[in-house]
Structure formats: structure tokens, C-alpha cells
Structure 1
Amino acid sequence: MRYRRRLRSRIIISFALFGLGLTALFAVATVYMRTRLEDQLVNNTLEREVRHFVDFKRDNPDPDAPWAMSLYQAQIVRAGRIATVPLAWQKYDSGVYDIDDIGREGKIRPYKLAVYKDADYWAFLRFDISTQKLGERQLLVVLGASVLAFAIFSLLIGFWLSARVMSPVTELVQRVRAMSKSGRPELLKSHFADDEVGQLAAALDDYSTRLTEMVERDREFNADVSHELRTPLSVIASTTELLQGSPDLADKPRERLKRIERAVRQSTELIDALLLLSRRERQAPTDGETTDVAKVVEQVVDAQRPHVANKPVEVRVDIEEPLATAAPSSVVAVALSNLIGNAFKYTQAGEVIVSVGHGRVSVEDTGPGINAEDAEKLFERGVRGTQVGKGGGLGLAIVRRLCELYGWKVSLAPRPQGGATATLEFGKQTWPS
């Protein structure tokens, strides 16, 4: 049975055990070091006094000869009679002082000097503290090494504890990533305990289920709409073609049938493009070849020419060099239809120049123009320029989404001589045709 405990409790217990263990180890180490250093100090002192006693007896074989410990040197004189007192001691008043003096072996050693002075006697007691100083240095070295060792040990324990505590979260992340890569939804709650991570997994399961259902509904809706719209459009296209083949058809009805035919083609292309956007599918041309951009431009210009109608607008198409791209002609047509159609709609007089070449299509017009600060905002859904009339503001947003899908780049900018310039760059997947 899986071990169940809240993540918060795991963290608290882990750090409590870690602090307790580290404190206990430090306490044991401190006691051990103190005992060891004290033993070493006592042993060294005893060994030194024993050697001193042997040396004294070797120099003084008389069993009644007085003997004093080597760590202490005491001297007492009557007040003012300081001839036998070392000169360095005479300057001190009553108290205890740290001094450096020459020992019996002729080397400078650290000492404690206790001085007592009154009206009758001056007393001096010198105590050798070299052994204590050595013990202090050893203790500092051992403590420094212990701190470093405990720091490394705590770091290793911290890594181990963090891995243990965060292992459920890491496992959840790995399962979510695997599910994201495979594209197959999987219930996560069954793999985790009933703790915070398990609650998070349950929330993700609920969100994933609702998201999957919504995606399935959208996919079915798009497929149904696409199918239901294509059928009447096909009927309209075939009927229009049959009517145009009638030999006794007058010119005016024939022109209207051509407009219907163009509208059907534009609607079919728009359905294809919107279906690709809804599926986020980057589709290549059906025949496996590239799409001739210049040819699509000419078709779009012809389809959008009714927007010019009787306005005094000159339309010019400059094919500077052949251009092809690895995208369906319907997608290219939808993107260009919005750019060229806007130029035709909002240009009341002057000219519209469509240039093809160098990996891009640019559309220049002499319309009302745009503000430079509003150029990027016009690609947002529902945003329209201040110089244009009514509309939903969806055309350029669709163009931007198609460009993001195929790695293209679209931009708008004011034209220096008046009007605006729209540019569609096809990027790396563009070749000369």
C-alpha cells in the first residue's frame, strides 16, 4: 500500500529529523573533541613534569633537595627590594597579565603572570600556558574542520531529503510531459497518494477531461461546418458553371455569374484556411509541389477588382521575379485577399501597386493611411483603424494567425507619400518558381 502523508508533513518531519540529527552529531563531535583535547593536555603536562622531575633528580641526587613544578615559577620579596626580580616583571601592578618570556630551554613561550603588591611584600607567580595555547589552536582547527565536514554532510543530506520530498512532484511533471508528447490523455490521480500532489493530479485530471471534451466538440463542429458548407458551395459552383455554358446568356447575367463564381471560390478558400487554423495543421500543397505566388496574386486582384468599381484608381501588378511557397494556394489566397481587398476598399482615388518578388508581396495604396502607432494593433482581433469605416476587424487577425502557422511575417506601415503599405514575407519556405 502506498505510503500516505501530506507533503507539508513530509517537509516538516524531514527538516525536524535533519536538524535533530545534525545537532546530535555536532554535540557528540564537540564532546569527543573536548574530551580528547583535555586528555591530550593532561597527558602532555604530566609527561613534561615527569621529564622535568627526572632531570631535576639527575642534577640533584640528594633526596631532600626541594623540587618545584616546571609550569610554575614563584618569587616573593619584601616591598621595594626588587634586585632579584626580573626587570620585565617590575613594571606590573597587582593583577594577572599575558606575557612572553624566555623559558628554561631558552625559547620564547607564552605565560600568565600574577602580581601581588602591598606595603610589606611583592609576590610574582608565572605560569606556563604554552600547552593551553596549543590546545586552543588544535581545538580551532578541529572545529573548523568539523564545520566544513558538517556543511558538506548537510548539503548531501539536503539534496537527499529534497529529492525524497519532491519526488512525487517530479513524477507528476514527468507524467504530464509524457502525456503532452504522446497526445493521449491519461488519468494521473491513480499514480499518487491522497496528499497535496494527489489533489493537484486530480485537478489536472478534471481540467484535462474538460479540455479534451471541448477540443473534441470543436473538432466535430469544424468538421460538420466544413462539410455542410462545402456541399452547397459545390452545388452553387457547378450550377454557375452550367449557366455560364449557356450560349444565349446575355453579357450582364454572365458577369454576375462570374462574380458568384469568384465568391464561391473565395468562400471555399476561406473555409480551408479556417479549418487549418482550427486544427493548427501546417498543410503543404495537395500535389506536393509549391504554390506560384504570382499566379495567386493575379487571381486575387481579379477577384477583388469589383471593390474598385468605377473609382479613379489605377491597379498595377509588378512581378519582379517568380516566387513560390510551400503552402496551399487557398491559404496564400486568403492572406493576400485581405491585404489587397483592404487596399481596394479604402482607396478612393490614386493607385494600388502590388509587387511580387524577393520573398515577399507588398501592397501599396494611396488610401487614408494608418497611424504608425496603430500598425501593430490592427492585427488584433476586433481592432480597426481610425481612418476606415465599419467592419468586424477580423481579416487582418486571420492573416496574422495564418502567418504564425506557416512561419510568415506580415506588417503594416504608413506610406511616405500618403496611404499605407502592407507586406507579406514568406520566410525560409519560399523559393523561386
Structure 2
Amino acid sequence: MPQGLPRKLRRVFALQALLAVVAVVACLYVSTVVGRGMLASQWVRAEADRYWVESARDPAFPAPWTSSVHGYFVPAGTDPADAGVPETYLDAGPGLHRMQVPGASQRLLVEDGPGGRLYMRIAFPLLDHAGLWSLLIASLLTGGAITMVSWLSYRIARRMVLPVTTLAAQVASWDPRQLDLDAIDPERLPGAVGREVHLLGGALRGLAERTQAFIRRERDFTREASHELRTPLTVVRVATDMLRRDPELPQRMQRSLDRLQVAARDMEAVVDALLILAREDEPGNGEEFDALDVATEAVNVGQVLLDELPDAAMVRLALVERGAPRLRGSRRALAVILEQLVRNACTFTVEGTVDVLVEDDRVEVRDTGVGMERDVIERAFEPFYRADQYVGGRGLGLAVVRRLAARFGWSVDIDSTPGKGTNAAVRFQPRRDP
């Protein structure tokens, strides 16, 4: 899950504080090392210059020897080892050298002067400890100050972005059927609400109001159009039923009336689906019904369709009962869904079988028809999509079928193999009696 803006800000400020502390400590360490080296070099040279001045006045003036400075003067022609010079100094030539001694920072100055060579070492054990503690204390104080500043900056930034994150959370939790516009009122938002937040809140409110108005217009039009279509469909069905009861009706007219009834039933399925979807924002008073009875009706509808087809004898339509689920929802919605799936199976099956299997948790429609390619299956539930090789189908599109099923918590899945057939399943959670 993507991180929220406050968490990202917290991580950014924490990383910024860490990098700032590291940079400051590194600068303090470098400045301490460089300053200590410069101090040691200047000190040892000053001691050497003072020795040469004093020895010029008094040849017996001793080389400096203190807790920090150790000096050795080797007269010309004398072995340095005989003068007490440490062995580690013997290989050093004239100049200033840095001595690598664990736990201390030392400098060795070797100079040739009147009458001999001067070895002078300077060490700062106390200064080294003082510098280390100073560096540690400065690092802690600096780190604390940077952390405090970063925390205060984060709090200020978080207060500035809090209204935006609150707006995003409110919009993400909106129910399209019941938009809570008061929740995005800038006066009710926490944090520092600025001009930008007012503009964003106003834009969201306007968008929500336009969306609600559009949904209402679409729902009202769908409901009214569907109701208006019911009247002529009822007239068509009643008229065809009366004509079919005429014993003197020619066989040719009988087939035409059958086709009229099937077409009227297809149109009724479309109208019923539109009416159900138009009420999807209204609480449904679901009824209890047997899915097996609905599947039986769908098989009967499919048989009527097969009887119209020229190769009806080559296709066998059968109901396979493996369960008797009892559902709560819309009986008509399930009928519309199953009838459409059975129609599709019968339409695209030239020869073979179309089986309607009723299980405890689903109803499957299996056929041995032309099947569908994988890319067609992936787009089969897109609105208005129709692959070229499947032109000729009628009734509801699969997009409306899936939406209709989702209205009652069901799902529609399709699995197909080109040239071998298709398996369409309506899955649901059956209601079990105690």
C-alpha cells in the first residue's frame, strides 16, 4: 500500500536530520583533526626556534624536556643512538613528521643547526582526550538541535498538509450513493487551512454535486424509459399469446409468433436489468427463492431459442442438478443473468451440448461451442465490446450481466478454450436454513 503524505514527510525529515547530523559531525571531526595538527606543528617549531636562540647564547642550554615536548640534541660527529635518540627517530630526515602512535597524536621535528641536529617530539595526550570529549559533546548537542529543528519543521509541514490528507481520506471513503459533502467543508478540516485547501474543497464539492446530479438524471431516465417500454412489450406478449391459441393458425405463422415472443422476452430481460440497476442506490427488499427453479426456467428459454435455430437437432440442452441452493436477493435478476448466459451458449454452439449445472455455491453454463480467445475473455466484460467473430449475439452484454450480479453480491466468471467451448459460472454464497 502506498505511503500517506504525513508518513512520507516524516521519513523525509528524519532522513534530512540524519544526513545533517552526519555532515556536521564529519565537519567537526575534520576541523578538530586539522586544527590539532596545525597547533602541534606551530608549537614544535616555536619550541625549536626558542632552543636555537637560547643555545646560541649558551652552548650548554639543554634541549626542552617537558610532559609534552621531548628534545634531543646530537652534536656533529656523534652517533644519535649514543645521544639517547629513540630508535624510531633515526630514520627520519630533516623536516616535520607525523608519528603514528596508538592513542596519541604526535609530531617529530628534525632540524640541522649550528653544531648538530635537533630531534624534537611533541605529544598532546591531554589535548587529545579533551578534543575527543569536545567532539562528542558538540556532536550530541548539534544532533539534538538538528533533531529538534527537524521535528518542529515536520510538525509545521504536517499541519499544513493535514487538511489535504483529510480531504483525500474523506473522498476515498465516499459512498457514491450517499456523498457526505459536509465532511469536506474547509471550516471542519483540521490543521492549517489555507486558500489552496478552500479552492480544492470547493472544486471537490462542485464535482460531487455535478456527479450526483448526473447519476440522478441517468437513474431517472433509465427508470422512466424502462417503465414506458413495459407497456408495449406487454401488449406484444398478450397479442402473441392470443394468436397462438388460435387452432386455425398456419404453421408458418406459428413460427413467426414464436420468434416474436422470444424477441419480446429478450427485450423484457433488458428492461428488467435496467430497472434493477436503476434502483441500485435503494435498499433492496430481497426475496428468498430457489436457484434450481430459476435455472429450470432458463433452460426452457434456451430450448425455445434452440427450436428456432436451423441446426437445433445437433445441440442438446440439459439441466444437471447437483445442489439446491436457496438464495436471498432478486429472483428476476438471477433469471435475467442465467437466461442471457444460456442464450449465449445456445447461439454460439453449432453442435454438441449445453449443460446448466446447479451446484450448492454456483450455477454453471457449459457449452461445446466456438469458444473465445484469451484477449476476448479479458475484454468480454467491457461495456459495448463485441469481437468480430462473435457478432450475431443478442440480449444483454456481459458487462451489464456482471454489474447486475454484483448488485446482489454474486460474481460472474468465464473460462473458455477456442474451438472447445466456454464455461460461464455465477457464483454466490447460498443461504442455509438453521
Tell me whether the two structures share a fold, i.e. TM-score over 0.5.
Answer: yes
- Native 8 Å contact 1:412 1:423 kept in 2: yes
CA deviations on 1:314-348 (whole Å, 9 max, x unpaired) are: 33333233233333121111111112112333344
Does 2:323 align with 1:317?
Answer: no
- Native 8 Å contact 1:307 1:341 kept in 2: yes
Does 2:155 align with 1:160?
Answer: yes
The structural deviation recorded for 1:188 is 4.7
The structural deviation recorded for 1:292 is 1.9
CA distance in 2, matches of 1:321, 1:109: 89
Secondary structure of residue in 2 paired with 1:429: coil
Q: Structure 2 matches for 1:210-229, cutoff 5 A?
A: 210-229=210-229
CA distance in 2, matches of 1:187, 1:100: 70
Distance 1:179 1:372, change over 3 A: closer
**Residue segments in structure 1 that go unaligned for 5+ positions in a row:** 1-10, 42-66, 102-107
Question: Which of 335, 338, 350 is matched with 1:336 structurally?
Answer: 338
Distance 1:80 1:282, change over 3 A: farther
- Native 8 Å contact 1:360 1:423 kept in 2: no
CA distance in 2, matches of 1:118, 1:235: 130
CA distance in 2, matches of 1:132, 1:429: 84
CA distance in 2, matches of 1:70, 1:366: 103
Secondary structure of residue in 2 paired with 1:115: strand
- Native 8 Å contact 2:413 2:426 kept in 1: yes
Residue 274 of structure 1 aligns to which amino acid in structure 2? L
Match of 1:424 in 2: 425
- Native 8 Å contact 2:244 2:254 kept in 1: no
Q: Structure 2 matches for 1:252-263, cutoff 5 A?
A: none
- Native 8 Å contact 2:364 2:424 kept in 1: yes
CA distance in 2, matches of 1:207, 1:100: 74
Match of 2:137 in 1: 142
- Native 8 Å contact 2:223 2:278 kept in 1: no
Does 2:217 align with 1:207?
Answer: no
Distance 1:69 1:292, change over 3 A: closer
- Native 8 Å contact 1:284 1:326 kept in 2: no
Distance 1:184 1:421, change over 3 A: same
Residue 156 of structure 1 aligns to which amino acid in structure 2? W
CA deviations on 1:84-127 (whole Å, 9 max, x unpaired) are: 443445554333345599xxxxxx97654433224623334444
- Native 8 Å contact 2:410 2:426 kept in 1: no
CA distance in 2, matches of 1:317, 1:187: 52
More displaced, 86-95 or 196-205?
Answer: 86-95
Distance 1:431 1:87, change over 3 A: closer
- Native 8 Å contact 1:296 1:332 kept in 2: yes
Match of 1:60 in 2: none
Does 2:171 align with 1:176?
Answer: yes
- Native 8 Å contact 1:410 1:423 kept in 2: yes
The structural deviation recorded for 1:382 is 3.2
Match of 1:305 in 2: 303
Q: How many residues align?
A: 369
CA distance in 1, matches of 2:282, 2:420: 33
Does 2:75 align with 1:78?
Answer: yes
Match of 1:411 in 2: 414
Question: Which of 121, 124, 128 is matched with 1:133 structurally?
Answer: 128
CA deviations on 1:171-191 (whole Å, 9 max, x unpaired) are: 433553576585233495754
Secondary structure of residue in 1 paired with 2:329: coil
Match of 1:3 in 2: none
Distance 1:118 1:312, change over 3 A: same
The structural deviation recorded for 1:214 is 0.8
CA distance in 1, matches of 2:162, 2:278: 38
CA distance in 2, matches of 1:110, 1:315: 98
CA distance in 2, matches of 1:362, 1:177: 36
Distance 1:131 1:223, change over 3 A: same
- Native 8 Å contact 2:361 2:430 kept in 1: no
State the identity as a percent: 23
Residue 427 of structure 1 aligns to which amino acid in structure 2? F
The structural deviation recorded for 1:204 is 1.8
Q: Structure 2 matches for 1:229-378, cutoff 5 A?
A: 229-234=229-234, 243=242, 250=248, 267-280=267-280, 286=286, 288-289=287-288, 291-308=289-306, 309=308, 311-313=312-314, 314-371=316-373, 373-378=375-380
CA distance in 2, matches of 1:231, 1:135: 100
CA distance in 2, matches of 1:185, 1:95: 82
TM-score, normalised relative to structure 2: 0.67
**Residue segments in structure 2 that go unaligned for 5+ positions in a row:** 1-8, 40-63
Match of 1:53 in 2: none
CA distance in 2, matches of 1:373, 1:68: 93
CA distance in 2, matches of 1:84, 1:226: 119
CA distance in 2, matches of 1:185, 1:275: 28
The structural deviation recorded for 1:363 is 3.1
- Native 8 Å contact 1:116 1:124 kept in 2: yes
Question: Which of 102, 111, 115 is matched with 1:120 structurally?
Answer: 115
CA distance in 2, matches of 1:304, 1:374: 24
Match of 1:49 in 2: none
CA distance in 1, matches of 2:368, 2:90: 109
The structural deviation recorded for 1:134 is 1.9
Q: Structure 2 matches for 1:23-62, cutoff 5 A?
A: none
Secondary structure of residue in 2 paired with 1:424: strand
Secondary structure of residue in 1 paired with 2:324: coil
Distance 1:186 1:227, change over 3 A: farther
- Native 8 Å contact 1:79 1:117 kept in 2: no
Secondary structure of residue in 2 paired with 1:312: helix
More displaced, 277-286 or 151-160?
Answer: 277-286
Match of 2:181 in 1: 185
- Native 8 Å contact 1:113 1:127 kept in 2: yes
